[in-house]
Chain A
Amino acid sequence: MSQYAIGEIVKIYKLEEDFIHICIQNQWIIPLKNEVLDQEDLARLLLIKDLQYAMGVNDEAIPVIMHLLDQIYWLKNKLNS
């Protein structure tokens, strides 16, 4: 799976480094390696960015939405397997 350094993500996706660190600190994303994100972390990060900046979701609602979303994906996978 592709891996990206935080600096690369900042450059390619025009995200602020502080935003990425806040997502890590809040455990909205939990990278396997320090300062390195995989494709799943990146997709999650971009979704959080969309929720915040493009849809106006506030900080308090982010973990709730992500938690519910993860439960849905887990259940979906269970039903498919």
Chain B
Amino acid sequence: MDPYKTLGVSKTSTDEEIKKAYRKLTKKYHPDLNAGSKEAEKNFKEVGQAFELIGNKEAREKHEQASDFNSSSQQPRGTSERPFYYETQGQQGRYNNIFEGNYEDIFSSMFRGGQKQAASSDNHYTMEISIEEALEGSTKEIILPNGKQLSVKIPKGITQGTKLRFKGHGEKGHKSTGDAYVEIHFKSSKRFKLEGLDLVSELPISLDEAINGGKIEFITIDGPIILTVKPPVSSGTKLKIKGKGLGTGQSRGDQYVLINIMLPKHIDPQLSHFIKQWSKEHPYNPRAEVR
């Protein structure tokens, strides 16, 4: 194999030119872009091997030396046998199966009339996950009633009510086996308490922030925002961040932030003295409204 010819470059081409030619041909011949084409696969492998031989100065020098000595002595070390992604993405492909349930309704409405109803041997389950798990994605193992273990992969950003389908994990019928559906429900966590579509989270603030206000970073389910705390603010005050709850569009809930003033663990004598003095000069009754 003449790697220069394979990549369509000359012996005087620079590393950058060779890399450019390699990338261009990889895109052209990659088997995942030419699924099932044996010729593309062959070309792709040759391009990879050629780049391995002349992809950088060091490799090129070695190749030249080997060529001077014996034109057939140098073979690329690259792995010619490898699985391609398209080969694994049949009906049993785990990664494409995460869309089961999400688009099921859309899909059946596209082809309504031609399809029979799902087999009656499908099993339906619900799974509760925290909002953090929904935001970050996770994998959970569940035990089905038949004793089989099922690994449920929760994709990042999954929404409440999504049904994940697991083909062939339902009840065995006469001719076929049904599917298992796992419907995702959210549950409260330490960080996010669920109140319908609204979320409530506690925000600890310092004495200084309570008295003088401040701009504090707060993580919503859409990501971090800067929350302006206007002074004075007391523990128990609820701030509302509109449209950062669960749901979508106009029906989307809100995020509530519950202020909690945290004093330092050790009170400095200077602060204690100052507060005592200040309280004598500015008396007020925080329980006046409770009576």
Contacts and interface: CB of A to CB of B under 8 A. Distances in A.
A and B physically associate: yes
Interface of A: 12-14, 27, 30, 32, 39-40, 42-44, 46-47, 50, 54-56, 66, 69-71, 73-78, 81
A70 B89 CA distance: 8
B178 to A, nearest CB: 15
B23 interface: yes
Contacts of B84: 43, 46-47
Nearest to B19: A56
A74 B96 contact: yes
B108 to A, nearest CB: 10
B83 A43 contact: yes
Interface string B16-36: 000000110011001010000
Contact of B151 (A32, A39, A56, A78): A32
B99 A70 contact: yes
Given A44-B85, A54-B23, 10 more contacts: A12-B79, A30-B95, A43-B83, A47-B32, A50-B26, A70-B89, A70-B93, A73-B96, A74-B96, A77-B90
The size class of the interface chain B forms with chain A is 35 or more
Given A43-B88, A70-B98, A71-B99, A50 B30 contact: yes
Nearest to B110: A78
Interface of B: 22-23, 26-27, 30, 32, 48, 78-79, 82-91, 93-100, 103, 107, 137, 139, 151, 153, 155-156
B52 to A, nearest CB: 10
Given A13-B82, A54-B22, A77 B96 contact: yes
A14 B79 contact: yes
B95 A40 contact: yes
Contact of A46 (B83, B90, B97, B98): B83
Contacts of A54: 22-23, 26, 30, 48
A50 B155 CA distance: 23
B85, B90, B91, B99 interface centre (most CB from chain A within 10 Å): B85
